[in-house]
Every structure is written in structure tokens, then in C-alpha cells.
Amino acid sequence: MIQNTALALLPVLTVLLVSVLTKRALLGLLAGAVTGAILLGGWGFFDTLVGTFGASLSNETVHWLALVVVLFGILIAYFNVSGAVSDFAEWTERFVTSRRKSLLLTWLLTVALFIDDYLNALTVGTSMKRVTDRYGVPRTLVGAIVKLTSAPIAVIIPFSTWAVFFAALLEQDGVTVNGSGFGAYVQGLPFVFFGWFALAIGLLLALGLLPLVGPLRREQLRVDRTGDPLPEGLTAEERAFELSGAATSGKRPLPFNFLLPIITLIVVTILTDINIVAGSAAAVVVAIVLYLAQRRMTIRDVFEQAFEGVMSMGYVIILFVLAFMVQHLNTELQLAEWVIGATEPVMHGALLPAIVFLVCGVYAYATGAFWDLAAVITPVVLPLAIAVGVDPVLAGTAVFSGAALGSTTCLYGDGIILASKSVGVKPLNLMLSILPYAGAAAVLSVIAYLVAGFATFG
């Protein structure tokens, strides 16, 4: 059994290499899972693989994510068959009259739904892709703006699911301000550098003040040439699903057919202590009542479209199961312990915040574990920071920034998977489009942590 050695990196490297070469995230995850099973089980790797598959299926987080995406799938199917999304897109014509305004509204909606990055990644992509289609905006650009904003806004607003979790970690490890971890988190918000830089880059991209580079530039040239905002590589079924409900009926648009379920989702989520499952279920119920009352759906449609919505999310659920298999194997291979052990000797003095951010960012990107990362590394980093004379709040924000970097960029992270599904693109295309901009935010964050580390050291 190979544990706590550099070979623990092999599953992660396999995932990235196979995904890029085949342009199929699912194949990459499967290859990574098989590699990890071989490292752990040797000739008995098949038993290890089956056991890991079972562990992933029994994971409570996978159950929760499956419920969320299935409910969203049903809701999106109801939106499409009722014409709610096309009504919303048509209604926005009165105040969204340009490409820049459509992208700015995309950014603003993502900020407004700061409660959780799953919520804004799914909701904003679904609501805005038809609006941006009118102005020849590639779907990958819409997804990039949403994903550059979703986790960063969740980590810098102190009333999100991210903030609540990270504040609890600080308090658990004895880092408090006025007796609470929440106070420490609020004090550290100016130092969550990746969140601020990514948020600003997302805004500048929406305003057209940053150039399109790499895959985004190629996608824009393709859209300009063909007039088709949908990416290449979609199956006929996927393309049909993305275009369903896009045609307008000629009647006066009723935006509240879309807005009321979304408002219900947000309000119920907040009132139930950030329970997105409850919010999504309530939104589905409101949509059914609205569309049946208006005869935009029949009882038969309710059941048929629910089935279609569940089936449309099948690929996403499979990706989640494989992603959690890889995460489980990484844990068994003690990847986190190896990374910490390899980098701990250089984590000292004023360099510590920058090194912590880099290590956490790379680890989160490589493994798809974000909150898990913070839960594992925070108890190591905070005592180390105190021991070497570094502000523990600053060190903690470096961990949280690294988690946000991973969520924004990881190919098989839940954030990328959900955002790509909502705008109708492949996870690999979205990740490659985001990397140049997230990379710029990461470089600026390293510089900022170096400055802050030297300014506060001792």
C-alpha cells in the first residue's frame, strides 16, 4: 500500500492529463479513480475500486448534491416547457440593450445571490444565457463570469455558507475577535485577496475592459463567424435541450413566471438556515402551481418534465460520484499529509501567508476538495502561524482564499460542474476559459500576501 508519498499525486495528474487529452472530464475522473485504486489495492485494485464507489454513493454530501441538482433539473425543465425563461429573456429587452449590459447584469445577479456558490452558479447561468445569446456572447464567457464571481463573493460576504463554515473553523482553533470566530473572519475580510481580485476581474470582463484571451477569444471568433453561441461538441439532445423554450410566443412576456420561483428559492433558503434543498423544493412547487393555473403545463407535463429534468442531470450526478471517488482515494493515499509535510519546512516567517495560499490553491485545484481542505489544513496552519509570529487571522484568510481559487478553477469540482451545466458547456471548456483570469487573480494574491506578510510579521 502506497501512502503519504509523492506517488499520491498520480491520481490527480492522471485526471488532469486524460481530461485534457480526451476533452472528457468523465474519462479523466474514471482514469484517476482506477489509478488511485491500483496504488492502494495493487492486484486487488478492482475490490478497492468497488469499495470506493460504494463509499462515494453513501457519502452524505453526494446525496445532498444529487438532491440539489435533481430539483434544479426539474425546475429548469418546467421553465423551458412553460416558456418562463424565454419570457424573462424577452422582458429584459427593455433595459438590457447591449452586450455589455447583458454581461453586467450577469455579474450583478451572481453578486446578489451571494448566499451560496451553488445557488448563484445554477440560477444565474439558467436565467441569463438566453439574454446573452441575443448579443452573440459565447456561453463559455457567461460561465466564466459567473464562476469568477460565485465562490469569491461567497467567501467575502460574511453571511454566506462559506463564511459561516470558515468562521466556525477559526473559533474551533481558538482564533477569535471579541470572543467569536465570526469576529475574526470579519476582521480578516480585507485579506481574502483572491476573492477581491477575482471579483474585480469578473467585473472588468463583464464590462469589456479586459481582453478575451485563449479559449475565450477562440470561442468569440467562432461565434462571430457562425452566429451560434452554443459551444461545439454538444450532442443533438444537449443542443435541443439548450434551445428548448427559446422561441418567443408573441404574447406579452410574464417575467414573474421565472422570477417568483427564483425569489421563493432565495427566501426559503435563507429562512431555513441556508437549506438549498428546501429552497429548491419550494421553487418547484411554486412553479407547478403557477404554470398549471395559467395552463402553461398540464398534469401530464408535470410528471413528464420532472422525468426529463432528472435525466438531464444524470451526467452531472455521475461526475459528482466519480469526483468524490477521487477525493476519497486522495484521503486514503494521505495526499494532504504529504503536501503539508513537503511544504511545512518552508512555511515560516513573513513568507507563510503566500506559501499557504499557494499550497492550498494548488491542492484544492488538484483534488476538488475545498471545505475539506480548509478543515484539514486550518488546524495545522493557525498554530504554525502563531508559533512563528504571523497574524493567525491573515494565515487563515490565505487558506480560505486558496479554497476559493480551487473552487473557481477545479475541473471536477462541484462549482465548475454546476456552472457548466447551467450555461450548457463542457466542464473542461469552462475550466480552460477561466484559467488565464483566475491565474492572474492568483498571481496578484500571492504578491498581496507577500506584502501583507512582511508588513505584519512579528
Q: What is the pLDDT of residues 87-141, one digit of tens each?
A: 776 787 778 889 999 999 999 988 887 877 877 887 788 888 888 988 999 999 9
3-class secondary structure per residue, 186-246: HHHHHHCHHHHHHHHHHHHHHCCCCCCCHHHHHHHHHHHHHCCCCCCCCCHHHHHHHHCCC
pTM score, whole prediction: 0.75
pLDDT given for residue 265 in this prediction: 84
Asked if residue 223 belongs to a domain, the reply is yes
pLDDT tops 90 at residue 197 = yes
pLDDT given for residue 152 in this prediction: 93
Mean pLDDT, rounded, of the chain: 84
Q: How confident is the model at residue 442 (pLDDT cuts 50, 70, 90)?
A: very high
Domain that holds residue 117: 61-140+213-315
For 226, the grid coordinates are 457562425
Asked if residue 425 belongs to a domain, the reply is no
Asked if residue 79 belongs to a domain, the reply is yes
Task: Compute the C-alpha angle 96/145/203, nearest 5°.
Answer: 75
Radius of gyration of the chain (CA): 22
Asked if residue 90 belongs to a domain, the reply is yes
N-terminal to C-terminal alpha carbon distance within the chain: 43
pLDDT given for residue 3 in this prediction: 59
Question: For residue 112, how many other CB atoms are within 10 A of its CB?
Answer: 13
pLDDT given for residue 254 in this prediction: 79
Asked if residue 36 belongs to a domain, the reply is no
Name the domain count of the chain. Answer: 1
245 or 408, higher pLDDT: 408
Asked if residue 65 belongs to a domain, the reply is yes
Question: What's the sign of the alpha-carbon dihedral 11, 17, 19, 21?
Answer: negative
- pLDDT tens-place string over residues 142-193: 999 999 999 999 899 887 778 777 887 788 778 888 888 888 888 999 999 9
| Residue 68 burial class via C-beta count within 10 angstroms: exposed 0-12, middle 13-18, buried 19 and up | buried
> Which whole-number Å values give the CA distances from 282 to 122, 266, 267, 277, 289, in the listed order?
16, 10, 10, 9, 11
Among 25-29, 71-75, 220-224, 266-270, the range of highest mean pLDDT: 220-224
Asked if residue 66 belongs to a domain, the reply is yes
pLDDT given for residue 360 in this prediction: 87
pLDDT given for residue 394 in this prediction: 93
